[in-house]
Amino acid sequence: MSKLAVTPHANNFGARIQGIQLQSPLSEDLVNEIRDIWHQYQVVYFPNQPLDHPQLEQFSLSIGNFGDDPYVESIEGHNNILEVRREPNEDIAPFGGSWHSDWSFQLTPPSATILHAKIVPPVGGDTHYADSIRAYEALDAALREELDAMTTTHSARRSYSHEAYKKGGERTGMKILPSEKAWDTQIHPLVRTHPDSGRKGLWINPVYTLKINELAEKDSDELLEKLFAHILKPEFIYEHTWAENMLTMWDNRSVMHCAQGGYNGYRRVMHRTTIAGTQPF
């Protein structure tokens, strides 16, 4: 019998997992059970998990190999951990403060993103998640069939090109590494089939998706705007509130997310890893 206690959120999108401590190595059976819960609820979180860097790396590797994290400097001595930090006096939008799927501009974007809360401000700082699977399933069947045949172009240029970084303002809490590589593009299907659950979801996001390749620019912009508005309807959103030492893992293959502000004057520090994924299909 499982020792895990799972508490789902509304619409079975997001779930709390208790009854486990992540500091020690996990059995294969327990890891498989966590993966199954994660695939079902897409966003899972584990309260009260004080972890040092090696322990966070150990849990991450139990889920899968590390992903490739460009454009952000990692923690010294821990190449696969990024510190997402915003200082009290930083007059700049939170890192990840627009709706996106992590690194969707890559050929093989991450399957999972893992975020561990180190310092949580007393106000604000939530993360919102959008369920692209239920959003897709709620569309009219004829529109779904049209979208199934479409592809999109993704790029990091809006966030990590030198031009974009200059416009975005200076960060002091973490080091961004802009690059000409940000102008590279990657073509993906507009609708992605989840490799584990087999369910389909809208594989687009406002930050990295530039256009729908089969449409003229005006038509592409209009359809993307319509689809983004649809995905971000309240019924598809889970609003996640953090606590110190909480570890949260979301399925980057079917979930968009957006870091919220509202904590000016306070420090917020998170440690992040990504898990390698496969090419979308």
pLDDT for the residue 170: 72
Give the global pTM.
Answer: 0.96
The 3-class SS string of 208-268 reads CEEEECCCCHHHHHHHHHHHHHHHCCHHHEEEECCCCCCEEEEECCCEEEEECCCCCCCCE
Length of the chain: 281
Active-site residue identified among 100, 116, 253, 268: 100
pLDDT grade for 172, boundaries at 50, 70 and 90 = confident
Residue 91 has pLDDT above 90, yes or no: no
Contact 92, 277 (CB under 8 A): no
Residue 167 has pLDDT above 80, yes or no: no
pLDDT for the residue 86: 96
Domains delineated in the chain:
5-275 (3.60.130.10)
pLDDT for the residue 57: 98
| Owner of token pair 């909480």 | 246
How confident is the model over 172-191, as a mean pLDDT? Answer: 95
Residue 156's alpha-carbon distances to 34, 152, 226, in angstroms, are 31, 14, 22
pLDDT in tens, 247-272: 999 999 999 999 999 999 999 999 99
pLDDT grade for 169, boundaries at 50, 70 and 90 = low
Query: Quick one: which of 248, 275, 235 has its CA closest to 16?
Result: 248
Give φ, ψ of 230 to 5 degrees: -70, -50
Active-site residue identified among 86, 134, 154, 257: 257
pLDDT in tens, 31-70: 999 999 999 999 999 999 999 999 999 999 999 999 999 9
pLDDT for the residue 165: 79
The contacts of residue 107 (CB under 8 Å, 6+ apart) are: 186, 279
Query: Quick one: which of 13, 106, 24 has its CA closest to 62?
Result: 24
pLDDT for the residue 256: 98
pLDDT in tens, 185-224: 999 999 999 999 999 999 999 999 999 999 999 999 999 9
Active site residue 100: yes
How confident is the model over 144-160, as a mean pLDDT? Answer: 97
Contact 131, 236 (CB under 8 A): yes
pLDDT for the residue 276: 98
pLDDT in tens, 95-137: 999 999 999 999 999 999 999 999 999 999 999 999 999 999 9
| Owner of token pair 């102008």 | 183
Residue 166 has pLDDT above 80, yes or no: no
Residue 171 has pLDDT above 90, yes or no: no
pLDDT grade for 2, boundaries at 50, 70 and 90 = confident
Active-site residue identified among 69, 86, 102, 271: 102
Active site residue 219: no
Active site residue 102: yes
